């Protein structure tokens, strides 16, 4: 290695050109290649299967579609889970593959199995199998104003198509837009008057309304296409369809017996934006993401489109992720700039100006080189990757500080120029190399974690690994070439004020190292077993503080957002009037909140968007920027909840003010194919859960749906030529409607349906007058051939991995939800399982993800520590010294817990990652110290003397590396950005873990080193009569 280092020192042109090339490559990548997005896109192998069966209930869909799909998918390899949902009229299946699966092969296999299912209902649509494309929402645009629904929908579709044609835009979706349909409505009275059936009308429409190609005539003059063009596409054309012609020439037209309506579909759906009818246009992207350019493109289009709109309509850009991206980018860049300045000032104070300058330049080189490779490792420039650069500022300078300090000491010893640079870098090359490698190994497992957090941790891991790799290259090969001209003495006759200040600080640091620390370490070594015991005691106390919830915990921290979202789910049989009352109640609470804030002269809400679909009510309040708000988003959410008040008939109420999916603090999932047993077990668990103080909003997924009316044939009905199939078909034709055609229009397919009038379809009394038509033309009253009974229905049926599932969820007002979860699992579930042996218990989605995350972290980090041990064993040619160094790793946890307590920070998954990062720094510092001890012992010093001398010799670089890391993180730790708060736990863990690393390295490790030698010698004395004194230089670990 020395020959390589010597070559680079003596070839400064190679070093300079390499540095320039790395910087240029990084700049080119930043401007032309790196994707820019707010958060990394989550990429998971997921296949979605959807199938429509109009008019069918959830139970029929489960039995005839879901179960058959699940059986077909059993033979697909590498399936992680199969989740199915049966709703009225539709089935959906989500097939998730394992992270390691080949996505293309997995998708083909799922498609093949589903397409092979041939026993599906004949009147159901074909299953649609699609690979889930991960899209990121970029913008939300509201088209709103004074217009009817059909006009609003058609204009929204036009805008959707125009935006989709813009560069870089991949997907545009409409929300709150109802599809158009042609509804041909006929009353029972008219059908009886003209002796018609639904089949008669459907047949007449199909026979008269069609476009068809009938061939081609070719002759010498050319060719003629034979076609029929008589498809009805407008209301009048449908009304002119002939149903019957009598012998006397009288003609019965469709318009004579039915009302033809060409309008939006009948649905209890509507969207309102700032008090006006609206359609929401969502702009998304799935491929290459450059949110800055995309945003500019869409905003330019909107400016032009607004000039073309009538004065009664408006286009409002009410959510733009580019604004959030720029805000977060600014926060992190400001923190990074502040961190860099603080680190540079610190380096200038403790090192020579030349060393400080080139060490700081090395940070920029390492970062630029990392930018150059980001596209190659599929990492975008997002909030997490930017944060990783910020986090690693203090770490990447560690190796440069150690090398710079070593070259400086070589200068002080009398060497100059190339020889000083070569000797300085050669002496510390081994600990620097292996220190960086072990730190990279500790960070690497973050790239392989499971679940939805994978892309988040992957961005951090790869950025850190790249930055460390290039910082190692820069420190070992480029930096020594720049420090070859370092002078040991200042050349100026009269030192400047700054030089004198720098000299006093350097002398002060040297005094602290030689006298204060030197005397302290002697005392510590004399009481080494007490010191070791004290550290172990503090570690146990730290673990106890976490386990007993003195530190708040949350697996996934909430990312504060810019809007408050309220979702209310009412029972399935709730009337439209009651749904509207709930919406008005929510609106009154929102208006009162806005009025109260404005009365005090503050700002809070920018826009309000409401949506109703079925028995669900959703309201979103878009807030002004965090800096302008009169209160925090959490305070606004709590106030709004109080102002809205109670909604007693709501099945579920959810308030969300975070950007990431809000998950309940308590969540359990139970499984069984016995519906009754599942219901009993769920009620038992729910009853127990309500006993805990602080539990609220308890809800389950086994919601009660609309009441089912069950038809059964009366005795003798079949003798009249009536079957249950006839009853089912004709009742479905009357109430749901029979689709007779689909019109292809520029706004999409328009279904043509024949059915009863709306008034008849909304009245149960219609059943009393309904007639069943037999094949021979007789009309028989429905209720004379069937018995009708009622029973509770279900809205949805959930299944997972071949079994029915029910989920129990609840919010918890306290801070020790882990204690509640643990108490339920340990003390209640065993007895509960005995009462319900046919039901299986498991964690909810978030709980399962947390368990998988922790298990994977433990497994991968255990492997990482093993690799680190092997690297250090090779470096030191010792089995014991790596164990000595790694034994200090758990103590980084102490600093992290202390930091969380000091800042009142919630302990989350990011806290764990910060502790792992701090462990890497602990290993790095310990490597430098142990290598120095070994060098001194090789020169003939005793173990104790070597430990003391090495501590004093490496005091400044060890303290300086920890201080630079801590100070580099300070701006982010105290940042005011609410959106960046979820990253603070990782910053706190790393910053305080590194700060404690100094104490661990300079206090705990020396004591442990000497104690291990004494224990070894006692063991040797026990094995043999010879005793080797501790001072013997041959006593190697």
Across the range 1010-1019, mean pLDDT stands at 85
For the ranges 715-729, 841-855, 919-933, the lowest mean pLDDT is seen at 841-855
Report the mean per-residue pLDDT for the chain: 84
Q: Is the pLDDT at 660 greater than 90, yes or no? A: no
Q: In the chain, pLDDT over 90 holds for what percent of residues? A: 28
Q: Is the pLDDT at 942 greater than 70, yes or no? A: yes
For the ranges 594-598, 770-774, 799-803, 842-846, the lowest mean pLDDT is seen at 842-846
Considering only CA atoms, which of 990, 972, 908, 969 is closest in space to residue 442? 990
Measure the CA dihedral 387/390/392/398, to 10°. -170
Q: Is the pLDDT at 534 greater than 90, yes or no? A: yes
Mapped onto helix, strand or coil, the DSSP state of residue 696 is: strand
| Neighbour count for residue 504 (Cβ, 10 Å) | 11
pLDDT band of residue 979 (cuts 50, 70, 90) is low
Give domain 560-705+797-831's CATH architecture.
Answer: 2-Layer Sandwich (3.30)
Considering only CA atoms, which of 59, 43, 277 is closest in space to residue 791? 59
Please give the pLDDT value at position 848: 64
Considering only CA atoms, which of 340, 439, 38 is closest in space to residue 972? 340
pLDDT: is 446 or 315 the higher one? 315
Q: Name, in order, each residue with C-beta under 8 angstroms of 241's C-beta and a sequence gap of 6 or more.
A: 204, 205, 208, 209, 232, 253, 254
Q: Is the pLDDT at 1027 greater than 60, yes or no? A: no
pLDDT tens for residues 198-230?
999 999 999 988 888 778 888 777 788 888 888
Considering only CA atoms, which of 696, 705, 702 is closest in space to residue 646? 696
Please give the pLDDT value at position 780: 92
Cα 687 to Cα 941: distance, rounded to the nearest angstrom: 71
The H or E element spanning position 277 is: strand 276-285
The H or E element spanning position 214 is: strand 211-219
Mapped onto helix, strand or coil, the DSSP state of residue 874 is: helix
Q: How many residues does this entry show for the chain?
A: 1037
Cα 590 to Cα 140: distance, rounded to the nearest angstrom: 21
330-360 in b/e form (b: 16+ CB < 10 A) is ebbeebbebbbebbbebbbbbbbeebbebbb
Q: Name, in order, each residue with C-beta under 8 angstroms of 583's C-beta and a sequence gap of 6 or more.
A: 610, 612, 617, 619
> What's the N-to-C CA distance of the chain in angstroms?
25
Mapped onto helix, strand or coil, the DSSP state of residue 799 is: strand
* Cα dihedral across residues 430, 431, 435, 436: positive or negative: negative
Cα 1009 to Cα 950: distance, rounded to the nearest angstrom: 12
pLDDT tens for residues 760-789?
988 888 988 899 999 888 999 999 999 988
| Rounded alpha-carbon distances, angstroms, from residue 692 to 306, 519, 607 | 55, 56, 38
Task: Say if CB 971 and CB 339 are below 8 A apart.
Answer: yes
Three-state secondary structure of 79-114: EEEEEEEEECCEEEEEEEECCCCCHHHHHHHHHHHH
The H or E element spanning position 896 is: helix 892-903
Mapped onto helix, strand or coil, the DSSP state of residue 801 is: coil
C-alpha angle 565/180/577, rounded to 5°?
A: 50
For the ranges 325-329, 657-661, 1026-1030, the lowest mean pLDDT is seen at 1026-1030
Q: What is the secondary structure of 583-601 as a DSSP string?
A: HHHHHHHHHHHHHHHHHTT
Q: Name, in order, each residue with C-beta under 8 angstroms of 403's C-beta and a sequence gap of 6 or more.
A: 424, 425, 428, 432, 475, 476, 479, 480
CA atoms within 13 A on the CB side of 380: 19
Q: Is the pLDDT at 54 greater than 90, yes or no? A: no
pLDDT: is 1029 or 898 the higher one? 898
Please give the pLDDT value at position 1: 67
Q: Is the pLDDT at 490 greater than 90, yes or no? A: no
Q: Is the pLDDT at 463 greater than 70, yes or no? A: yes
Q: What is the secondary structure of 156-192 as a DSSP string?
A: HHHHHHHHHTSTT--EEEEESPPPEEEEEE--HHHHH
Strand partners, 605: 623
Please give the pLDDT value at position 36: 82
Please give the pLDDT value at position 134: 66
pLDDT band of residue 32 (cuts 50, 70, 90) is confident
Please give the pLDDT value at position 652: 79
* Cα dihedral across residues 516, 521, 527, 532: positive or negative: positive
Three-state secondary structure of 243-276: EEECCCCCEEEHHHHCEEEEEECCCCEEEEECCE
Cα 507 to Cα 914: distance, rounded to the nearest angstrom: 34
Strand partners, 608: 621
| Neighbour count for residue 410 (Cβ, 10 Å) | 23
Task: Say if CB 51 and CB 126 are below 8 A apart.
Answer: yes
For the ranges 23-27, 313-317, 714-718, the lowest mean pLDDT is seen at 714-718
Q: In the chain, pLDDT over 70 holds for what percent of residues? A: 92
Q: What is the secondary structure of 390-435 as a DSSP string?
A: HHHHHHHHHHHHHHHHHHHHHHHTT--HHHHHHHHHHHHHHHHHHH
| Neighbour count for residue 127 (Cβ, 10 Å) | 18
DSSP state of 623: E
Please give the pLDDT value at position 246: 84
Mapped onto helix, strand or coil, the DSSP state of residue 567 is: strand
pLDDT band of residue 1036 (cuts 50, 70, 90) is low
pLDDT band of residue 1033 (cuts 50, 70, 90) is very low
pLDDT tens for residues 349-390?
877 778 888 888 888 899 999 999 999 988 888 888 888 887
Mapped onto helix, strand or coil, the DSSP state of residue 314 is: strand
Give domain 512-559+845-1037's CATH architecture.
Answer: Up-down Bundle (1.20)
Cα 81 to Cα 91: distance, rounded to the nearest angstrom: 17
Mapped onto helix, strand or coil, the DSSP state of residue 10 is: coil
pLDDT tens for residues 278-332?
999 999 876 667 888 888 999 999 999 999 999 999 999 988 888 877 877 777 7
Residue range(s) of every CATH 1.20.1640.10 domain in the chain: 1-33+351-487, 512-559+845-1037
860-877 in b/e form (b: 16+ CB < 10 A) is bbeebbebbbebbeebbe
Please give the pLDDT value at position 191: 92
Classify 44-133 by CATH class: alpha beta
Q: Is the pLDDT at 336 greater than 80, yes or no? A: no
Across the range 729-758, mean pLDDT stands at 88
pLDDT tens for residues 84-143?
999 888 999 999 988 778 888 999 999 999 999 988 888 888 999 988 876 677 889 999
Considering only CA atoms, which of 73, 994, 18, 74 is closest in space to residue 473? 18
Q: Is the pLDDT at 643 greater than 90, yes or no? A: yes
Cα 121 to Cα 946: distance, rounded to the nearest angstrom: 83
CA atoms within 13 A on the CB side of 500: 5
pLDDT tens for residues 877-888?
888 888 888 887
Please give the pLDDT value at position 1034: 44
| Burial (0-12, 13-18, 19+ Cβ within 10 Å), 94 | middle
pLDDT: is 700 or 441 the higher one? 441
Residue range(s) of every CATH 3.30.70.1430 domain in the chain: 44-133, 560-705+797-831
pLDDT band of residue 817 (cuts 50, 70, 90) is low
pLDDT band of residue 946 (cuts 50, 70, 90) is very high
Please give the pLDDT value at position 690: 83
Task: Say if CB 617 and CB 579 are below 8 A apart.
Answer: yes
Give domain 1-33+351-487's CATH architecture.
Answer: Up-down Bundle (1.20)
């Amino acid at each position: 290695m020395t020959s390589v280092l010597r070559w680079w020192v003596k070839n400064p042109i190679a070093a300079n050109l390499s540095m320039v090339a790395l910087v240029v490559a990084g700049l080119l990548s930043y401007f032309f290649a790196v994707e820019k997005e707010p958060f990394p896109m989550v990429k998971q192998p997921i296949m979605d299967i959807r199938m429509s069966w109009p008019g069918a209930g959830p139970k029929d869909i489960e039995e005839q579609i879901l179960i058959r799909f699940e059986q077909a998918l059993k033979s697909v390899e590498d399936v992680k889970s199969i989740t199915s949902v049966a709703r009225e009229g539709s089935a959906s299946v989500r097939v998730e593959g394992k992270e390691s699966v080949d996505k293309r092969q997995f998708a083909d296999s799922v498609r093949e199995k589903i397409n092979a299912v041939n026993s599906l209902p004949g009147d159901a649509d074909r299953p649609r199998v699609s690979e889930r494309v991960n899209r990121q929402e970029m913008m939300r645009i509201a088209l709103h104003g004074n217009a009817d629904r059909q006009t609003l929908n058609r204009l929204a579709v036009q805008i959707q198509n125009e935006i989709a044609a813009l560069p870089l835009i991949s997907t545009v979706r409409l929300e709150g837009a109802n599809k158009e349909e042609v509804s041909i409505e006929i009353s029972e009275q008219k059908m009886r008057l003209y002796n018609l059936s639904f089949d008669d009308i459907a047949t007449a429409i199909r026979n008269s309304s069609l476009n068809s190609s009938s061939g081609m005539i070719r002759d010498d003059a050319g060719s003629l296409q034979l076609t029929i063009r008589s498809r009805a596409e407008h209301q009048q054309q449908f009304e002119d369809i002939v149903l019957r012609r009598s012998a006397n020439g009288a003609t019965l037209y469709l318009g004579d017996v039915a009302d033809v309506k060409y309008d939006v579909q009948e649905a209890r759906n509507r969207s309102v934006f700032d008090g006006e009818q609206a359609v929401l246009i969502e702009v998304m992207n799935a491929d290459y993401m450059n949110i800055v350019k995309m945003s500019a493109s869409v905003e330019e289009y909107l400016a032009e489109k607004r000039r073309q709109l009538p004065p009664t309509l408006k286009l409002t850009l009410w959510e733009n992720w580019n604004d959030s991206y720029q805000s977060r980018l600014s926060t992190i860049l400001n923190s990074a700039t502040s961190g860099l300045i603080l680190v540079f000032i610190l380096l200038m104070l403790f090192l020579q100006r030349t060393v400080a300058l080139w060490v700081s330049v090395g940070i920029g080189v390492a970062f630029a080189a990392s930018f150059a490779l980001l596209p190659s490792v599929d990492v975008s420039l997002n909030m997490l990757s930017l944060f990783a650069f910020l986090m690693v500022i203090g770490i990447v300078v560690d190796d440069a500080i150690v090398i710079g300090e070593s070259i400086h000491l070589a200068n002080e010893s009398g060497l100059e120029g190339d020889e000083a640079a070569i000797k300085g870098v050669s002496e510390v090359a081994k600990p620097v190399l292996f220190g960086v490698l072990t730190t990279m190994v500790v960070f690497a497992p973050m790239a392989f974690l499971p679940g939805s957090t994978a892309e988040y941790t992957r961005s951090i891991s790869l950025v850190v690994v790249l930055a460390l790799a290039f910082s190692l290259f820069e420190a070992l090969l480029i930096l020594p070439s720049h420090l070859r001209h370092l002078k040991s003495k200042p050349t100026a006759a009269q030192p400047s004020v700054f030089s004198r200040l720098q000299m006093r600080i350097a002398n002060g640091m040297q005094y602290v190292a030689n006298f204060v620390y030197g005397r302290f370490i002697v005392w510590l070594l004399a009481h080494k077993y007490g010191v070791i015991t004290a550290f172990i005691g503090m570690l146990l106390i730290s673990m106890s503080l976490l386990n007993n919830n003195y530190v708040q915990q949350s697996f996934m921290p909430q990312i504060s957002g810019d809007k408050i979202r309220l979702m209310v789910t009412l029972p399935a049989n709730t009337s439209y009037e009651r749904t509207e009352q709930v919406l008005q109640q929510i609106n009154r609470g929102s208006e009162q909140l806005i009025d109260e804030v404005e009365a005090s002269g503050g700002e809070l809400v920018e826009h309000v968007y409401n949506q109703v679909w079925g028995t669900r009510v959703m309201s979103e309040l878009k807030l002004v920027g965090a800096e302008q708000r009169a209160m925090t988003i959490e305070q606004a959410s709590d106030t709004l909840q109080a102002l809205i008040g109670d909604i007693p008939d709501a099945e579920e109420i959810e308030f969300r003010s975070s950007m990431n999916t809000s998950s309940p603090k308590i969540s359990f999932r139970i499984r069984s194919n016995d519906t009754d047993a599942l219901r009993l077990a769920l009620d038992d668990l729910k009853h127990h859960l309500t006993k805990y103080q602080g539990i609220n909003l308890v809800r389950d997924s086994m919601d009660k749906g609309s009441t089912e009316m069950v038809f059964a044939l009366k005795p003798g009905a079949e003798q009249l030529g009536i079957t249950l199939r006839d009853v089912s078909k004709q009742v479905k034709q009357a109430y749901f409607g029979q689709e007779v055609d689909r019109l292809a229009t520029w706004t999409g397919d328009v279904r043509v349906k024949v059915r009863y009038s709306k008034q008849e379809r909304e009245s149960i009394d219609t059943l009393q007058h309904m007639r069943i038509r037999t094949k021979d033309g007789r009309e028989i009253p429905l209720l004379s051939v069937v018995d009708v009974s009622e029973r509770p229905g279900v809205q949805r049926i959930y299944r997972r991995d071949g079994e029915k599932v029910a989920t129990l969820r609840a919010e918890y007002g306290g801070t020790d939800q882990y204690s509640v979860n643990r108490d339920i699992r340990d003390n209640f579930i065993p007895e509960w399982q005995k009462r319900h042996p046919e039901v299986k218990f498991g964690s909810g989605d978030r709980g399962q993800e947390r368990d998988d995350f922790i298990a994977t972290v433990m497994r991968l980090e255990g492997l990482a520590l093993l690799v680190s041990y092997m690297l250090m064993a090779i470096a030191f040619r010792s089995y014991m010294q790596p164990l000595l160094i790694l034994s200090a790793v758990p103590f980084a946890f102490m600093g992290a817990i202390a930091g969380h307590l000091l800042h009142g920070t919630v302990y989350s998954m990011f806290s764990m990652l910060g502790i792992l990062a701090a462990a890497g720094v602990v290993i790095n510092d310990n490597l430098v110290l142990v290598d120095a001890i070994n060098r001194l012992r090789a020169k003939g010093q005793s173990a104790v003397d070597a430990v003391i001398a090495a501590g004093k010799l490496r005091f400044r670089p060890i303290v300086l590396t920890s201080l630079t890391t801590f100070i580099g993180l300070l701006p982010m730790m105290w940042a005011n950005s609410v959106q960046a708060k979820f990253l603070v736990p990782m910053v706190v863990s790393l910053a305080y873990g590194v700060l404690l690393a100094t104490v661990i390295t300079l206090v705990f490790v020396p004591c442990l080193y000497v104690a291990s030698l004494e224990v070894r010698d006692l063991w040797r004395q026990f094995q043999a009569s010879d005793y080797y004194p501790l001072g013997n230089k041959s006593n190697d670990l």
